[in-house]
Structure 1
Amino acid sequence: MKKMKRKEHFRVYTYATWGTIFLVWFLVTEFGLVSSRLIPSPEQVIYSFIEIMQNGYNGIPLWSHVGISLYRLFIASSLAFITAVPLGLMSGYFKRFRAVIDSVVQFYRPLPPLAYYTFLILWLGIDESSKITLLYLAAFAPIYLACVSAVSTIDENYLLSAESLGASKKDIFFTVVLPASMPEVFTGLRTAIGIAYTTLVSAEMVAATSGVGWMVIDASRYLKSDIMFIGIIIMGITGVLLDWGLRKLETKLVFWKGKQ
């Protein structure tokens, strides 16, 4: 009961923060302190949003822009999760395996996406393959590193106890290493989706005609700040919803997190 009251207490601060942000936004635009080309008014953003909902942007419905962006993000993040988790856990558990994989990941991880996106377009074409590959590479590294870190923080007494009971390396991996690593794996997945979402704008900058990221870039060329605000708000809200869904999924699947 106390825990629920505490959560409600903290929510008041969250609501107050966002209320303050919207109030400042309204006052700044209402009194003309900043040009509407730089910061559109809330009314202007709402009006443009209703217009896009009715007529679409560039002849494409708004839900199609959101849908194609989420499709690219979902496919890339799913592929990254499927490949990075086993590679990361094995790299953390088997040092020889880590010696092969880790240096490659550490090499490309700090590179800006646009630095190699041109090569991806040359190799894979301008269709969805190059965009999904770019998002995949952005999402892969955080999940991989989280898995490696998770294995290294496992209490060695658990591994030694399992060994003393006659468990094989394979048994230890699946019954001790994997369950103990899952909380950090989910943290890595949440981070990866956030990074992939920020990379989405880069992926939709070149040779794209749809997507929320492309909509923001296209609007910026014509100084349509209201459209840019709409795209940014949509990306922010969908990002929060995705993170909320992952946290809910984590509490269901990793129910032992935080328990001794």
Structure 2
Amino acid sequence: MTDIVETASVVAVPKAQEPRIVEMTRFGASGSRTLAISILTGLLIIVAWWTAARLAVVPRLFLPTPQDVLTQFRLIFNDGYAGASLGEHISASLFRILTAAAIAITAAIPIGLLMGLSRWAKGILDVPIEFYWPLPPLAYLPLMIIWLGIGETSKVTLLVLAMFAPICLSAQAGVRSLPIERVNAARSLGASRLQLFRDIVFPTALPEILTGIRIAFGVGWSTLVAAELIASNRGIGYMIMSASHFLATDVVFVGILIIAACAFVFGLAVRLLEALLVPWKGRL
């Protein structure tokens, strides 16, 4: 009798593969670091400026060298210009643009949100805003002088009008970009009108509002020179226009660079505020 031995077949069970984390590829320049590129670009612009001035591509009267501009900045910093110190010129301009920005932001955000939520508000307010918004500030500058005189009120009002429209239209666009699915989901969960506005509408519109504020500051600084034409004796814009009458191009360059530096600081502040308040921007 033969002994039959059965051997159990061993089946090798493959180990479960661990999940592999796949990083989502970015689209465009969103989230990419551009600081090194920006610094290099700035250096190339300065080198090109210095080269063009040294080679007399443009007469030095019209294009001073960076060294000439730096020397003139030191002189203005130490001795002032047109009967006022550099600090007085800068503080006068900052007072005007910060006052105008506070008024424009306070008025434009609620009006823009209302225009995005109500067709009646949009129908009534859209026409006057769209009418004056494309006009250059110099077009209605004479009206500011006639109506409000030559004091600070006319200057601040001109800046408010220039800064109001970008913020208002951005707030309106932010509300209108709200996906209806979010609204319906919040309503299905029993959200009240106040909760719907506070937790859904306003956070969705906030990135657009902050973008509008950044644009408004840019428009405000470009309007500042026009605003300070109105019988001013202080301000960076006044300094630029006064220097242009005497072909003091180096002083004009000093004023332009100061405005550019101030605008950069304001833009950076809004970017930091954006990173703090809307960290989800571009990630949804």
If the length of structure 1 is used for normalisation, what is the TM-score?
Answer: 0.93
Q: 1:110 and 2:134 equivalent?
A: yes
State which of 204, 209, 216 in structure 2 corresponds to 1:180: 204
Q: 1:125 Cα deviation (Å)?
A: 1.4
State which of 116, 124, 130 in structure 1 corresponds to 2:148: 124
Q: How does 1:1-260 map to 2 (within 5 A)?
A: 7=33, 10-260=34-284
Quote the Cα distance in structure 1 between the aligned partners of 2:187 and 2:44: 57
Identity %: 37
SS in 2 for 1:45: helix
Quote the Cα distance in structure 1 between the aligned partners of 2:191 and 2:46: 58
Q: 1:168 Cα deviation (Å)?
A: 3.4
Quote the Cα distance in structure 2 between the aligned partners of 1:38 and 1:97: 50
SS in 1 for 2:57: coil
SS in 1 for 2:211: helix
In structure 1, stretches of 5+ residues that fail to align are: none
Is the radius of gyration larger for structure 1 or structure 2? Answer: 2
Is the CA contact (8 Å cut-off) linking 2:167 and 2:209 kept in structure 1? yes
Is the CA contact (8 Å cut-off) linking 2:183 and 2:200 kept in structure 1? yes
Quote the Cα distance in structure 1 between the aligned partners of 2:220 and 2:129: 16
Q: 1:78 Cα deviation (Å)?
A: 1.1
- The structure in which a higher percent of residues are helix is 1
The letter of the residue matching 1:154 is L
Quote the Cα distance in structure 2 between the aligned partners of 1:43 and 1:161: 62
Is the CA contact (8 Å cut-off) linking 2:155 and 2:230 kept in structure 1? no
The Cα offsets for residues 137-163 of structure 1, whole Å up to 9 and x where unpaired, read as 000000011011111111101111222
SS in 1 for 2:61: coil
Q: 1:67 Cα deviation (Å)?
A: 1.0
Quote the Cα distance in structure 1 between the aligned partners of 2:124 and 2:183: 24
Deviates more, 1:165-174 or 1:94-103: 165-174
The Cα offsets for residues 9-66 of structure 1, whole Å up to 9 and x where unpaired, read as x333222212221112212222222211110112211111111011000120101111
Quote the Cα distance in structure 2 between the aligned partners of 1:256 and 1:19: 33
The letter of the residue matching 2:207 is P
Q: 1:228 Cα deviation (Å)?
A: 0.3
If the length of structure 2 is used for normalisation, what is the TM-score?
Answer: 0.86
The letter of the residue matching 1:90 is L
Q: CA RMSD in A?
A: 1.7
Q: 1:171 Cα deviation (Å)?
A: 3.0
